Structure 1
C-alpha cells in the first residue's frame, strides 16, 4: 500500500507522466517513432475523491492567493486523471473572450445548450445577467450581446449602446413565391462578430449565416443562387436543406472580407459588398474553419475528415477571382498544417495558434513551419488572445478554461513543446454550483 499522501501521489504521477510524454515526443521527432513505445498513463483513479475534496476546499470563501498557489503546486493540473469523471460532469465552453482588464467572459455550455454567461477573474465568478451569447469585433472595440429579443452592440465591454439589431426571420435571400417557412425561433449563434463600424454583426448559425443591420438581415449562406439552381432543377422546396452543418465564418481585421463555409461545398470569400471574391477547394473532406492572420493579408482555411484535418493558406492579394478544386496543388493555396481538425483559433505576429480535436493547442507560422504544441485535453472549443499577444485563454469540451502566459517557461507538469505556463484553470462542471479555480 502506498503510504504517501494523496496529493503527493498525484503530484509525482502527473509530473512523471508529463516528463515521460515530453521525452517520448522529443525522441520521436529526432529519431523517428517506429522503435518507440508511448508511455503508459499512471494509475490515479483512487486519488480522484481526494482531489475533488481539495478542489472544493480551496474554493471556499476566504481562501487567499498564497493558499491557492500552494494547492496548485500540490495538485498540478492534468487532464488524463480526470477522464473517468468526464462522461457525467463535462460540459463544453462555447464562447470565450479575454477582456482588456484581464478577466474572462465565458459561455458555459455549447451554443445549443441552455448555457450561462459568466465573468471570471482572480476574485471569483460573476454571472452576467440578460446575455445569452456574445462576440467582439476584430479591432476589439465593439461587443455583440444577444438574447431572445435581439442583438445589441456596445462600444466597449459595458460601454454605450450603438446599435440594436433584430434576429433574421429566415426568409431573407430566399426566392419569392415558394412555400418556404420562416424560423419558429431566433437562430442560435455559433458565433457573433460585430463589424469594425459597430453598425452590423456577422451571425453564424446552423439556420444560416447572415449579416445583421438596422435595415434587416442579409443571407450569406445558403446562397440564393444555389437555392434557385435547386428549384430550377425541379427539387421540391420542402426538400431543399436550408440548415447548415460545420457552419463557420471569419472576418478580416478591417472588416472588408468574410471567409465562410459549411460542411458541403467549398471555402468561400466575400468582398466588402458581400459579393463572391473567391471559391477555394478544401484540402480535406469538409470545410470546417477559417481564420485571418493578424495583419489580415493571409487567410487560413481548415477542412476535416473525422477527427483529422488539413489547412491551406492563401494570400489575400491572390483572392480576387481565385477558383480552385478540392485537393488542388495550386501554388497560391499551399498546405500550411496537416493533421488538425480546427475548432478554434487566434493569430498573433507571424503565427497561428489553433485548437484541435485531440486537446492540443498547435502553433505554426504563416509559412507552415511548426512552432510548438501545448496540451490541454479534450476537444478545444474556444480560444482568445490578449491584444499584446502574451496571454492566451483556451477552453475545452471537457469543461476546462485555461489562462496561459505565453513564452514564459514550461512547468514540470505541462505536456508540450512550447515554453508556456498556465496561470489558472477553472473547472466548469455539471454538479458544481459555480466554476472552481484550480
Structure 2
C-alpha cells in the first residue's frame, strides 16, 4: 500500500474503515455485540501533508463544481484521519441556520468565545458585520440579531425591523434591598429564540434565562422564589449562585409554551403568561436540552451524565399539572432515546434528529423507534434542517460544517445506517488563512 499514491492510500483506508464499521454495526445490531471486535483504522497520519496540500489546491480561485466533486471522490471526507490535527485546529461552531436561498449562517466559535458570524454560499464565505449572535423563530420567519447595543428582530433575514429589545440589566427578578450587582456587560447568548409574534425573544445564557420584550426583560431562571428561599435560609447574597450551567430553552411553534432548565433543575414548562404548568423529571443526572416537534404537539428533553444521556418525550396535552421526579417511570414521559448526550437537534417530519457527544447524528421517531445514525465526528455543536426536510446541516467541535442531502443515498465512505449523502463540508480551522471547502 505504501507504494501507492497518497490519494489512493487515503481513499482505500477511509472507504475500507467505513465499510468495516458499517458491517460491525449491522452485525451487532442483529446478533449482539459480545463476540464482535470493533474494526481498527489503518494508519493514515503520514498522508495528512498530502491531503492538506490537495485541499488547499482545490480551494484556489477558478476551481469549478466538477473539479470539486472529483476531489471529494478522490479524497473522501472522514474524521478519524484528522484526529492528530484537531487539538491545534479544531473549534466549536455554536449556531448554524439554513436560509431559504440555500446559503448558511454560522457563528464560528462557541458562545463564550469572541467568534465571528459568517454567511456561507456554495463556494464562498462572507463575514456578517455588526452581528455577534443570532437566532430564528420555529416558524422560520423572524430573526433575532444581537450585538452590544441590544437585540433587533427582523421579519426575514435582511428583512424589515419589527422590534428592538434591550439587554437585561441583570437585576430583573432579584429581591429588592439586597446588594445584587447589575451586569457589567450584556449576557452572552447560548440561544436566542424569537416568538411567533416577532415582539419577544427567549434569551438563554449562563448569566440567566430571560424573556425579552420592548418594555424590558423578565428573569425566568434562576426564579425569584428560588432566590428568596435561599435568602430565608440565611444564605449570604454574595453566595447565591445566579450563574447557570447546561442552560437550555425552547419555544413551541405557536409561542404559547416555553421549556427551560439547567443542570440543577428539572425541566420547567411555562405557559404564555409565564406561569409554570409542568416540571419534568429528567432521564439523566443533568438536564441539558429541549426541543419541540414540528407540529408543537410533543417536546423532547435530554439530560446527561458524562458523555451519555437519556431523552424523554412528552405530549403537550399531558403537560398541564405534570410533576415528575428524576428517572420517573411515568408513562407520560417515556424514554425515546437512550444513550445520547444531546448538544443540538432538529425536528423533521415525524422524527427528531439529534447530535451527540460522540459525533453521531441520530434519528428516532416520536414513538421511540430508532430510524438511523450518521457519523460526522467530534461533539455535534449545532444543527438545522430545511423547511422541506430534505437538507440537514450539522456542525461539530472539529470545526466542520457538513451539508447533508437526506435520502440521497449513502456514499461508500460514509459511516452510518441511513441513506444520506454529504454534499459539502467546510473546515473552519484555527490557523488557516481562510475556511476550506472539502
Measured against the shorter chain, the TM-score band is over 0.9
Helix, strand or coil: the match of 1:63? coil
Q: Which runs of 4+ in 1 moved over 3 A?
A: none
Distance 2:401 2:265 in 1: 33
Please list the CA deviations of residues 254-311 of structure 1 after superposition, one character each: whole Å capped at 9, or x if unmatched.
1110000001020100001111010111111010000111111111010000000001
Please list the CA deviations of residues 383-410 of structure 1 after superposition, one character each: whole Å capped at 9, or x if unmatched.
0000000100000011000000001100
Within a 5 Å distance, the mapping from 1:163-202 to structure 2 comes to 163-202=163-202
Distance 2:106 2:373 in 1: 24
Q: Counterpart in 2 of 1:237?
A: 237
Distance 2:95 2:348 in 1: 19
**Counterpart check, 1:430 vs 2:430:** yes
Helix, strand or coil: the match of 2:3? coil
Distance 1:355 1:334 in 2: 20
Structure 1 regions of 5+ residues with no counterpart?
Answer: none
Distance 1:396 1:149 in 2: 29
Distance 1:84 1:310 in 2: 31
**Counterpart check, 1:358 vs 2:371:** no
CA RMSD of aligned residues (A): 0.7
Contact 2:123 2:437 in 1 (8 A): no
**Counterpart check, 1:114 vs 2:111:** no
Helix, strand or coil: the match of 1:393? strand
Within a 5 Å distance, the mapping from 1:32-431 to structure 2 comes to 32-431=32-431
In the TM superposition, residue 337 of structure 1 has moved relative to its aligned partner by 0.6
Distance 1:153 1:20 in 2: 49
Distance 1:211 1:284 in 2: 27
In the TM superposition, residue 434 of structure 1 has moved relative to its aligned partner by 2.0
Please list the CA deviations of residues 351-387 of structure 1 after superposition, one character each: whole Å capped at 9, or x if unmatched.
0000000000000000101000000000000000000
Please list the CA deviations of residues 10-42 of structure 1 after superposition, one character each: whole Å capped at 9, or x if unmatched.
001000000000000000011110110000111
Distance 1:145 1:334 in 2: 36
Distance 1:432 1:134 in 2: 25
Contact 2:426 2:436 in 1 (8 A): yes
Distance 2:123 2:428 in 1: 16
Please list the CA deviations of residues 37-89 of structure 1 after superposition, one character each: whole Å capped at 9, or x if unmatched.
00011100000001111111111111111111111110000000000000000
Distance 2:282 2:343 in 1: 16
Helix, strand or coil: the match of 1:304? strand
Please list the CA deviations of residues 145-198 of structure 1 after superposition, one character each: whole Å capped at 9, or x if unmatched.
111111111110011111111110100011111110001110000011111111
TM-score (normalised: structure 2): 0.99
TM-score (normalised: structure 1): 0.99
Structure 2 regions of 5+ residues with no counterpart?
Answer: none
Please list the CA deviations of residues 171-227 of structure 1 after superposition, one character each: whole Å capped at 9, or x if unmatched.
001111111000111000001111111111110000000011100000000001100
